[in-house]
Structure 1
Amino acid sequence: MLDELEVRDLGPIRHARLAPAAGMTAITGETGAGKSMLLNAIGLISGALAQNARVTPGRETAWAQGIFDLGPGSPALGFAEEAGLEPEEGLLYLARSVPAQGRSRSLANGRTVPRSLLTDLSERLVTIHGQSDQMRMASPARQRDFLDAYAGDQPQLDAYRAAWERAQTLTKKLDKLQEQQAGVIQQADYLRQSIERIDSVDPRPGEDADLKEQRDRIEHGAQIAQGVTGALSALDASQLDVDVEAPSVASLVEQAIQSLQSTGVNDLFEDSLARLRSISADLSDLVFNLTRQLDSEGGAGDLDKINARIHDLEELKGRWGPSIEDVIAWRDKARFDLEDMDASPEQMQALREERQAALQAAAEAGRNLSAKRSAAGRTLGSKVGKELGALAMGGAALDVRVRPRSDGGMDAHGMDEVSFLFTPFPGSQQLPMGSSASGGELSRLMLAMELVAADAKNVQGGKETAQDATSGARMTFIFDEVDAGVGGKAAVELGKRLARLATSSQVIVVTHLAQVASWADRQFVVAKGQGDSGVQTQVRQVDGGDREQEIARMLAGSESRTSIQHARELLAASRL
């Protein structure tokens, strides 16, 4: 709840400090005195847009600060801690400075923060019901949240969200598996095609080196043939031309052997004969090899085939190498990997069935939530209508509609579209809440809604104790223009209902009616007075006789003995 509000140099207010009651606080004063500036100050610390023109003329900066007692269980406590703000003894300080020129500055517990953080924090602390603030409830999301809070459907909402989140998790898992399987299939196709390509070439270890050697020989074939021919001509010319009569080196060696054998003394020439026979054998083998070499030298056609083969092997090495041995090893591993790959259609089907079951469970939980909301919406509309009748709006009605989403789907909040339609007077068309109604009518509508919601909360959680009534965990409701067009008995009922709401929440009301202000636990008067530099707006708390005089002024415009007595009687009667 709001523990203290302090304002400096905002419009006609040079300095004001007020400490609202934990229950109901009334802010009164003559028209034009500056009551609206107090609401502007609360708007500033709630993250509203700043207007430099509202800085007091002659001053450099306007400043406003609100001190909030969070208390245990406050919805803002956890949010503040997540934002890195540590409440000091349970107190949260929200401040805003607005220069006459330039940008405003937002602070929380003395730290500069984004203006959006003030908005997020204040939404959990303050609800302003005034003509400029009714559009907040025009949001379908806020209307849904209000209905959920009234319905007390948290168990149904939790059950639905658990089912919906499970369905979402399974959907993401299925999508991921499908993506993975698509990748597996693509990888399997790649392995299969790669293996087929390598098999079609059928490389052999070391083959590329052998082919390059053959290519070198063919490319140097003329020089090789000339050298081999010369060697054969010298060793055995008959290998080149059978008509040649010149003896071969081998035949000459053979003649030498025969000559030594003809001596008949073989033992004497045994070593020489052995060496000559070895030379003869080597010469025969050498001539045979050179002749084969000459016959095996390929031509241009062989060179084309070899180059084509080398090209195929180089392609394999470029993709799966760097060596032929690496290519062969990669192919063997790819065959193993391909056998291990499985698209797992059974797993996919099982996951699809699991997801479908989760969607059905979410739909069932969503229908339970919708039923709870629909029943609560009918009750809410009926009870709000009765409250509006007591607030001088007989015939006004609130229709709470809960319908299936237009797209037929579901999200984290359920399967419903929630809308609040307001009928301000008999015969009027139903209007979307927040449009085409006066500020006073909308303020009273919001008061009726908050009253019904508070009653429902008390029923759900039990009546609050006296200690609860001063707890810092109370929400602050601010009402402006709620008394517009109200008088007589309806004004008394209005004040009584504000006081009733104040038993469970902090209520601050700006009012012109004594019948409303008399119900307040604490009253502040905003009035123009003479200051050091001319006329200024002053804010002061009134008690005892001072309050009787203010109530008398509001009743009769004077402070006569009769009006004072009437004020005294009104204050005494304004008790729950």
Structure 2
Amino acid sequence: MLEELEIRSLGPIHHAVLRPAPGMTAITGETGAGKSMLLNALRMISGGTAAARMVSPGEDGAWAQGIFAVSEDSDAAAIVHGAGGDVEDGEIFLTRTLPAKGRSRAVLNGRSVPRAVLGDISGELVTIHGQADQLRMASAGRQREFLDRYAHDDALLDAYRSAWKRLNEADSRLRGVTEQESDAMRKADYLRESIERIDRVAPHAGEDDELKAMRDRIENAAEIARGVGGALAALDTSQMDAEGDVPGALPLVEQAVQSLRSIHVHGEYGEIADRLTAVSTELSDVVFTLGGMLGGEEEPQDLDTINGRIHELDELTRRWGPTLADVIAWREQAGYDLEDLDASPERVERLREERAQAYKEALAAADDLHEARKAAASELAGRVTDELGSLAMSGAALDIEVEPRGRSAAPDPGDFGPLDANGVDDIRFLFTPFPGSPKLPMGKSASGGELSRLMLALELVAADRGMNGGEDFAMTFVFDEVDAGVGGKTAVELGRRLARLARHAQVIVVTHLAQVASWANAQFVVSKTVDTKDDDAGADTTVAEVRDGARVREIARMLAGSESEASLTHARELLASSGASR
């Protein structure tokens, strides 16, 4: 509820304070007095566009502030908390500063915030119905929300939203696994090809080192032969078929052993002979080994085969190494991984079945919600049309279309067919402003006054239905031009219905009709005064509450344009009659 609206240097208003009543407040005054500035101030603190031309001439800037009473558990309070603010003593301060030059500044409870934050908060607190404002019910989303609140289909909505959540979760799992399946298929192909390549080469640990050693021997065979041959010739000339009188080392050692054995004198000769025998045995073993080396040389053509094999092994270690032991270990693990990946198609099929079931359940829940909406739409449209007949709009009608989108089989992941987060319905509010007019979307089908009365009819039906959740005066409704083209008894009915709405919500109405203003709990007059003593002072606009005799005089002015005794008497009677009926 709006507790106070304060304005400084906005258009013709240098300073004004408006403290509307909890119920219905009427704002009256002569045409051109500046009533529109009050609406502009509300738009400013609601985050609307503000132009520098709105600043009073000669002033540095304009300023507007609205103080709203809210409950701690309200949606508005939640938005304040989300913006990093606090609700102190159950009040919210929305402030907007508009400099003559430069950008405006939005302030929430004394802290600067983005302008959009004021819009979000004020959207829960105040609704302006006027030609210059976007209708609260112009968007399809707002129309759907309004219809759902009227239908009291919370249980069906909750059931659908739960089904929608399950569908999204199942869809997310399926999409994740499907994407994983593609990756898994690519990985499985890689593993399979890699295993086949390793198995085709069939390496064993250390084979590359063995082959490289063998290659070295082949490539250096001549040098090896010369060295080994020389060693053998020095050790035992008989191994090399060498001719000459110089014996090798081995026969000479054996000859030395025999010479020592031939000594029969007691001494160390036998021990030395034993030691030489051991040397002879070792030399014989060396001669045998060297002889084998000369006899085991690889054929020259084997070098190409060995180099080819080494190349194959190097390719394996470059990709899966760095050693052949690593390659062999990788191949073993790859076999296990391939077995796990080959099982993924079964999991995908199971998730497809789960998603199909979730889709079927969501469609069923959406159908239940559709039926409730369709029944509520017929009732709501009929009641609003009846209200329009009492607001000087005979022949006008509201039609509400609830059309389900086309069905489809369980779609692929990421495609939800006709479903969205709100069900399966396309909902449209269509207004026929006069007989013979086509049904047109709201906001594009009538004058400002007709639209205001349509919104009044909708808000009346909503209030009667208890659609404010039992929290009276949580919303402030502002009606401008609602009395356009209305007079006589219809004006009285208009005032009566505004007062009826004010039983559950705060209502502020800008009106030229005494029959409407007389129903208000409080009345403020916007008037323009001119200082005749100072020609340079210009005009000043004031906003003042009128009570008792002052209010009688204002009602009389609205009735007859004067304060004659007849008009004053009529004003008193009108106020008394409206007050008693209220």
* TM-score (structure 1 length as normaliser): 0.91
526, 536, 561: which one aligns with 1:557:
561
Q: Give the secondary structure class of the aligned counterpart of 1:421.
A: strand
**Shift of residue 566 of structure 1?**
0.3
Mapped partners of 2:300, 2:29: distance in 1:
115
Do 2:495 and 2:515's aligned partners in 1 also have CA atoms closer than 8 Å?
yes
Mapped partners of 2:316, 2:348: distance in 1:
36
Q: Which moved more, 1:93-102 or 1:65-74?
A: 65-74
Mapped partners of 1:100, 1:349: distance in 2:
66
521, 532, 539: which one aligns with 1:535:
539
**Shift of residue 164 of structure 1?**
0.8
Mapped partners of 1:276, 1:522: distance in 2:
136
- CA distance 1:170–1:528, change in 2 (3 Å): same
Do 2:188 and 2:342's aligned partners in 1 also have CA atoms closer than 8 Å?
no
Q: Which moved more, 1:198-207 or 1:164-173?
A: 198-207
Q: Give the secondary structure class of the aligned counterpart of 1:137.
A: coil
Mapped partners of 1:541, 1:272: distance in 2:
140
The aligned residue for residue 351 of structure 2 is 351
**Shift of residue 260 of structure 1?**
7.0
**Shift of residue 242 of structure 1?**
7.4
**Shift of residue 430 of structure 1?**
1.2
Mapped partners of 1:550, 1:309: distance in 2:
111
Paired letter, 1:542 = V
Mapped partners of 2:340, 2:406: distance in 1:
47
Mapped partners of 1:366, 1:547: distance in 2:
55
Do 1:420 and 1:433's aligned partners in 2 also have CA atoms closer than 8 Å?
yes
Paired letter, 2:558 = M
Q: Which moved more, 1:71-80 or 1:510-519?
A: 71-80
Mapped partners of 2:389, 2:249: distance in 1:
139
The aligned residue for residue 487 of structure 2 is 487
Do 1:482 and 1:511's aligned partners in 2 also have CA atoms closer than 8 Å?
yes
- CA distance 1:257–1:9, change in 2 (3 Å): closer
447, 468, 473: which one aligns with 2:456:
447
The aligned residue for residue 16 of structure 2 is 16
Mapped partners of 2:554, 2:381: distance in 1:
37
Do 2:72 and 2:87's aligned partners in 1 also have CA atoms closer than 8 Å?
no
- CA distance 1:220–1:513, change in 2 (3 Å): same
- CA distance 1:406–1:125, change in 2 (3 Å): farther
The aligned residue for residue 323 of structure 2 is 323
The aligned residue for residue 132 of structure 1 is 132
- CA distance 1:21–1:156, change in 2 (3 Å): same
Residues 1:150 and 2:144 aligned together: no
- CA distance 1:299–1:29, change in 2 (3 Å): same
The aligned residue for residue 378 of structure 1 is 378
Mapped partners of 1:199, 1:266: distance in 2:
72
Q: Which moved more, 1:120-129 or 1:173-182?
A: 173-182
Paired letter, 2:116 = S
Q: Which moved more, 1:538-547 or 1:78-87?
A: 78-87
Mapped partners of 1:272, 1:266: distance in 2:
14
Paired letter, 1:144 = R
Mapped partners of 1:9, 1:276: distance in 2:
126
Q: Which moved more, 1:250-259 or 1:374-383?
A: 250-259
**Shift of residue 243 of structure 1?**
7.6
Q: Give the secondary structure class of the aligned counterpart of 2:465.
A: helix
- CA distance 1:273–1:396, change in 2 (3 Å): same
Residues 1:173 and 2:173 aligned together: yes
- CA distance 1:300–1:129, change in 2 (3 Å): farther
Do 1:134 and 1:442's aligned partners in 2 also have CA atoms closer than 8 Å?
no
**Shift of residue 276 of structure 1?**
5.4
- Any idea what the Cα deviations from partners look like across 1:367-426, whole Å, max 9, x if unmatched? 111111111111111111111111111001111000013685111111101111111100
Aligned positions of 1:125-524 closer than 5 A = 125-241=125-241, 249-251=249-251, 270-271=270-271, 274-275=274-275, 277-298=277-298, 301-341=301-341, 343-405=343-405, 409-457=418-466, 473-524=473-524
Paired letter, 1:396 = A
Mapped partners of 2:190, 2:10: distance in 1:
74
**Shift of residue 267 of structure 1?**
8.7
Do 1:55 and 1:100's aligned partners in 2 also have CA atoms closer than 8 Å?
yes
- Any idea what the Cα deviations from partners look like across 1:232-252, whole Å, max 9, x if unmatched? 333344544478887555455
Q: Give the secondary structure class of the aligned counterpart of 1:558.
A: coil
Name the % identity.
58
- Any idea what the Cα deviations from partners look like across 1:418-464, whole Å, max 9, x if unmatched? 11111110011111110142111111111111111111117x97xx7
Mapped partners of 2:237, 2:85: distance in 1:
108
Mapped partners of 1:454, 1:374: distance in 2:
20
Mapped partners of 1:19, 1:362: distance in 2:
49
Mapped partners of 1:301, 1:559: distance in 2:
131
Mapped partners of 2:306, 2:338: distance in 1:
32
Do 1:185 and 1:343's aligned partners in 2 also have CA atoms closer than 8 Å?
no
Aligned positions of 1:59-98 closer than 5 A = 59-71=59-71, 73-98=73-98
Mapped partners of 1:44, 1:259: distance in 2:
129
Do 2:130 and 2:480's aligned partners in 1 also have CA atoms closer than 8 Å?
yes
> Higher relative contact order by CA 8 Å / sep ≥ 6: 1 or 2?
1
**Shift of residue 78 of structure 1?**
1.7
Mapped partners of 2:180, 2:290: distance in 1:
63
Do 1:391 and 1:493's aligned partners in 2 also have CA atoms closer than 8 Å?
yes
Aligned length: 566
Q: Which moved more, 1:392-401 or 1:138-147?
A: 138-147
Do 1:478 and 1:509's aligned partners in 2 also have CA atoms closer than 8 Å?
yes
Mapped partners of 1:207, 1:476: distance in 2:
89
- Any idea what the Cα deviations from partners look like across 1:494-523, whole Å, max 9, x if unmatched? 111111111111110000000110110000
Mapped partners of 2:213, 2:126: distance in 1:
91
Paired letter, 1:307 = N
- CA distance 1:234–1:128, change in 2 (3 Å): same
Do 1:373 and 1:402's aligned partners in 2 also have CA atoms closer than 8 Å?
yes
* TM-score (structure 2 length as normaliser): 0.90
Q: Which moved more, 1:225-234 or 1:373-382?
A: 225-234
- CA distance 1:537–1:232, change in 2 (3 Å): same
Paired letter, 2:170 = L
Mapped partners of 2:27, 2:402: distance in 1:
38
Mapped partners of 2:450, 2:218: distance in 1:
106
Q: Give the secondary structure class of the aligned counterpart of 1:94.
A: strand
- CA distance 1:302–1:482, change in 2 (3 Å): same
Do 1:181 and 1:343's aligned partners in 2 also have CA atoms closer than 8 Å?
no
- 5+ residue gaps, structure 1, are none
